[in-house]
């Protein structure tokens, strides 16, 4: 079977983790996936302040940018005619429905965020698709109003690459770790008061922030913060320097649409987690004793102290998380599900609602 994958870009994390990481494993199972990212990244903008202005307000320059994005998608649209299935990772263009009606069917529309909050038109794309792959149940529930064939396909974690550390270096301070991108720093900022309190009370502790931008946390002692700029090369090793991984979130539709990838990274590294029980985070916590929920400052503080004071319990929680990641969320496990779904979707009469 040949699957033509139209992704959002070579540097886009969603393309990397929703499509690209499965290509070798699917090839071993008889499913050839050919990825066609756009020639111009989906999030590419004009330089400087111009990049923050809507294209329609930029006159000929803006129209030229839009035209360039449309043109960048044409090779992938043409390539879609030569596959057995088209795997559309998100929408083709962020301004509205574009070439989607021209894509060959069967067409799978793959989503891993509550993108309808920013792009209401995606419901039309879902309605015209053969099936929808949704990263979690919240997303599946929303898209099921537009398509009767919605399948929950979690984002996998590469457990062969994301591994626990061999041993804890002697004398290493107790390290609370957070990894994420610049837009998500606001979630870390929301719990800086309990973090600051914990670090001041726990003499041998630090906060490790792995991100593409340095954090602004005035309530946390700066001497206790270690900032490591994220790169693909250090994303695994940085987790191995942590003793607990944290994932704070607010409780809104955008956050409920997240696929808990940060939490899965911590679990694959055998780290106990403290997370906001929002959306898929709540589902994962129900899977076993792999972390502690925190909904307020006191719970964040109590959870961190509990894990710092009881290394044996923290280690047991980490082992449980690792097992869960390997058995249910590994690239191996999810690629097997994808293969089965692709073969089912190729036979329309066998496709049924499997949310």
For 82-129, write each residue's pLDDT tens digit: 999 999 999 999 889 999 999 999 999 999 999 999 999 999 999 999
| Mean pLDDT, residues 265-290 taken together | 95
Domain boundaries, the chain: 2-156+330-350, 174-328
Q: How many CA atoms lie within 13 A of 124 on its CB side?
A: 11
H-type alpha helices, the chain: 13-18, 23-28, 59-79, 122-128, 137-143, 185-189, 192-201, 235-239, 253-256, 261-268, 280-285, 297-309, 311-328, 331-346
Among residues 258, 208, 260, 239, which one has the least CA distance to residue 318? 239
Confidence of residue 244 (pLDDT cuts 50, 70, 90): very high
Distance of CA 280 to the CA centre of its chain: 11
Check residue 69 and give its pLDDT.
83
Q: How many CA atoms lie within 13 A of 147 on its CB side?
A: 29
| Mean pLDDT, residues 239-256 taken together | 97
Superfamily of domain 2-156+330-350: Glycogen Phosphorylase B; (3.40.50.2000)
Check residue 88 and give its pLDDT.
98
Instruction: Please check the confidence at residue 266 and state whether its pLDDT lies above 70.
Output: yes
Among residues 263, 255, 297, which one has the least CA distance to residue 177? 263
Check residue 234 and give its pLDDT.
93
Token pair of 331 as six digits: 């690239």
Reply yes or no on domain 174-328 having CATH 3.60.21.10: no
Q: How many CA atoms lie within 13 A of 192 on its CB side?
A: 17
User: pTM for this structure?
Assistant: 0.90
Check residue 50 and give its pLDDT.
36
Find where tokens 């004793």 sit: 289
Sign (positive/negative) of CA torsion 44, 48, 52, 57? negative
Is 174-328 in the same CATH topology as 2-156+330-350? Answer: yes
Instruction: Please check the confidence at residue 63 and state whether its pLDDT lies above 80.
Output: no
Confidence of residue 192 (pLDDT cuts 50, 70, 90): very high
Q: What residues contact residue 136 under an 8 Å CB cut-off, 6+ apart? A: 152, 154, 257, 258, 259, 260, 279, 280, 283
Confidence of residue 43 (pLDDT cuts 50, 70, 90): low
Instruction: Please check the confidence at residue 166 and state whether its pLDDT lies above 90.
Output: no
Confidence of residue 280 (pLDDT cuts 50, 70, 90): very high
Q: Where is average pLDDT lowest: 63-67, 265-269, 328-332?
A: 63-67
CA distance 321 to 269: 8
Instruction: Please check the confidence at residue 55 and state whether its pLDDT lies above 70.
Output: no
The DSSP-derived string for 102-118 is GSPSSEEEEE-S-GGGT
Check residue 349 and give its pLDDT.
53
CA distance 298 to 95: 43
Average model confidence (pLDDT) across the chain: 91
The DSSP-derived string for 312-338 is HHHHHHHHHHHHHHHHHSBHHHHHHHH
What separation in angstroms does the CA of 141 have from each of 46, 132, 260, 263?
Answer: 36, 11, 17, 22
Confidence of residue 42 (pLDDT cuts 50, 70, 90): low
Confidence of residue 70 (pLDDT cuts 50, 70, 90): confident
| Mean pLDDT, residues 163-188 taken together | 91
CA distance 185 to 209: 10
Instruction: Please check the confidence at residue 269 and state whether its pLDDT lies above 60.
Output: yes
Instruction: Please check the confidence at residue 52 and state whether its pLDDT lies above 70.
Output: no
Instruction: Please check the confidence at residue 294 and state whether its pLDDT lies above 60.
Output: yes
H-type alpha helices, 167-247: 185-189, 192-201, 235-239
Find where tokens 């919605």 sit: 150
CA distance 263 to 188: 14
pLDDT for 297-346, tens place per residue? 999 999 999 999 999 999 999 999 999 999 999 999 999 999 999 999 98
């Amino acid at each position: 079977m040949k699957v033509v994958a139209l992704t959002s870009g070579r540097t886009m994390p969603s393309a990397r983790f929703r499509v690209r990481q499965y290509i070798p494993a699917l090839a071993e199972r008889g499913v050839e996936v050919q990825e066609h990212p756009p020639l111009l990244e989906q999030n590419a903008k004009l330089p400087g302040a111009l990049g923050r202005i809507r294209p329609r307000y930029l006159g000929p320059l803006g129209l030229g940018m839009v035209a360039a994005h449309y043109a960048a998608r044409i090779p992938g649209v043409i390539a879609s005619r030569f596959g057995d299935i088209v795997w559309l990772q998100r929408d083709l263009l962020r301004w509205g429905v574009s070439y989607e009606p021209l894509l060959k069917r069967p067409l799978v529309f793959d989503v891993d965020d509550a993108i309808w909050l920013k792009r209401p038109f995606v419901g039309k794309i879902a309605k015209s698709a053969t099936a929808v792959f949704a990263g979690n149940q919240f997303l599946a529930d929303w898209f099921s109003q537009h398509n009767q064939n919605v399948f929950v396909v979690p984002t996998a974690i590469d457990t062969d690459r994301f591994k626990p550390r061999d041993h804890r270096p002697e004398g290493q301070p107790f390290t609370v770790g957070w990894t994420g991108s610049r837009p998500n720093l606001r979630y870390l900022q929301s719990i800086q008061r309990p973090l600051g309190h914990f670090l001041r009370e726990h003499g041998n502790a630090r906060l490790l922030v792995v991100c593409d931008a340095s954090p602004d946390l005035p309530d946390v002692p700066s001497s206790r913060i270690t900032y490591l700029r994220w790169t693909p090369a250090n994303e695994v090793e940085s987790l191995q320097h942590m003793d607990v991984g944290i994932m704070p979130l607010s409780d809104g539709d955008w956050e409920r649409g997240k696929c808990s990838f940060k939490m899965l990274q911590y679990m694959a590294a055998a780290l106990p987690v403290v997370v906001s029980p929002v959306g898929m985070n709540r589902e994962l916590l129900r899977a076993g004793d792999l972390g502690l929920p925190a909904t307020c400052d006191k719970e964040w503080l109590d959870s961190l102290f509990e894990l710092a004071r009881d290394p044996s319990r923290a280690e047991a929680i980490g082992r449980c998380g690792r097992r869960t990641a390997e058995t249910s969320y590994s690239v191996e496990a999810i690629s097997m599900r994808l293969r089965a779904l692709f073969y089912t979707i190729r036979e329309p009469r066998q496709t049924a609602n499997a949310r």
